[in-house]
Homo-oligomer: A and B are copies of this chain.
């Protein structure tokens, strides 16, 4: 068809080139950040790895930090969705709630690992960069609030132990995110499948009374 020909000949070939270059830089950055961390990766390194000049780097990004800040927001959104899309209020009454919890835990770990290099780098900045820390905190607070909503519902439905709902939401969120992060930092190695199982068990037994 004529249309497919039109698609294969982009309106503006220059913009396509730009996009490609930008992507080359992003990919090079991800790779180097993964290998060396944020600080030890220089903008010259990134450009060189991407096969472009330093000048090009600064055409597309104001600096190293801004590159990462942008990526961070994307990551955070994706992660949030991956976790909570499979964890709706109605699921609380499912017979397979436990499996759902396990799935949410697994999703968190899997998602973090998928972008392992970036999560490492982000956490490197979290400790030094107030902006990163603030954004990260906001994401955590949002997740905790979401969990609290769910647990609170379960609580009202008499599904849970007599617990401190706020504290439970806080702890559960921390526990899942932190262990996921551990798999990212590589600070410990334990069979992922068994760890997920244990984590899900722990959360389930902590919050919910045994059913039937």
Give chain A's interface residues, CB within 8 Å of chain B.
Answer: 36-37, 39-40, 120, 123-124, 126-128, 133, 136-137, 140-141, 144, 161, 163-164, 166-168, 170-171, 174-175, 178-179, 181-182, 185-188, 190-191, 194-195, 197-199, 201-203, 205-206
Contacts and interface: CB of A to CB of B under 8 A. Distances in A.
B174 A194 contact: no
A136 B171 CA distance: 23
A185 B126 contact: yes
Copies of this protein in the assembly total: 4
Nearest to A198: B167
A190 B166 contact: yes
Given A126-B187, A164-B197, A178-B178, 5 more contacts: A124-B124, A140-B187, A163-B201, A164-B198, A174-B179
B124 A185 contact: no
B206 A202 contact: yes
Contacts of A199: 171
A128 B40 CA distance: 8
Contact of A171 (B141, B170, B202): B202
B188 A140 contact: yes
The main secondary structure of chain A at its interface with chain B is: helix
A186 B128 CA distance: 12
A191 B141 CA distance: 14
Nearest to A173: B188
Given A120-B127, A198-B164, A179 B188 contact: no
B174 A182 contact: yes
B164 A171 contact: no
A160 to B, nearest CB: 11
